[in-house]
Amino acid sequence: MPMQLQLIPADTRLEASGDGASFNISESATRTFLCRLIITDQIEQESLDVSIWGSADGETWPKKPLLKLPQQFYRGTTKLVLDLSLRPEVKFIRARWDLNRWGRVAPTPMFVAGMELVEVPPMSRETPTKRLVLAAG
């Protein structure tokens, strides 16, 4: 069964920058995840930056993220793939979000968003593949 993680629970009201809970991914078979950021509400003149961070112990987090999503301004869905297959030292992941607001309006930013990661399952050896046959001419 593929892992499903809610790095930011669906419909979370974000009004300040912060970090999500950490999740242990050491049991993942493929260490590859489809990331979906869904923004369902926002106000004008603001931006949201979401990134995914990795740690070996769940306590110490590096200075650079594993994945940084494109900066968001509006409602919608953004999808990216996080491939940790070549990063065996990463055992825990978590989301971080940074909010920014500008203009002559109320200074508190507000987004309603969620971020789900779904593990990409391994390919079966029985999966049929098409073979290209090159004829010697």
pLDDT at residue 1 tops 90: no
pLDDT at residue 29 tops 70: yes
pTM, full prediction: 0.86
| Tokens of residue 122, six digits | 């391994």
Q: Which of 97, 99, 115, 96 is nearest to 45 (CA)?
A: 99
Query: pLDDT tens digits for 64-81?
Result: 999 999 999 999 999 999
What pLDDT score does 127 carry? 57
* Domain around 109: 4-119
The answer to whether position 127 is within a domain reads no
Q: Burial level of 90, CB count in 10 A (0-12/13-18/19+)?
A: middle
The answer to whether position 115 is within a domain reads yes
How many structural domains are present in the chain? 1
Longest dimension (CA), the chain: 73
Kindly give, in sequence order, each residue whose CB lies less than 8 Å from that of residue 30, ignoring residues fewer than 6 positions away: 85, 119, 120, 121, 122
pLDDT at residue 124 tops 60: yes
The answer to whether position 91 is within a domain reads yes
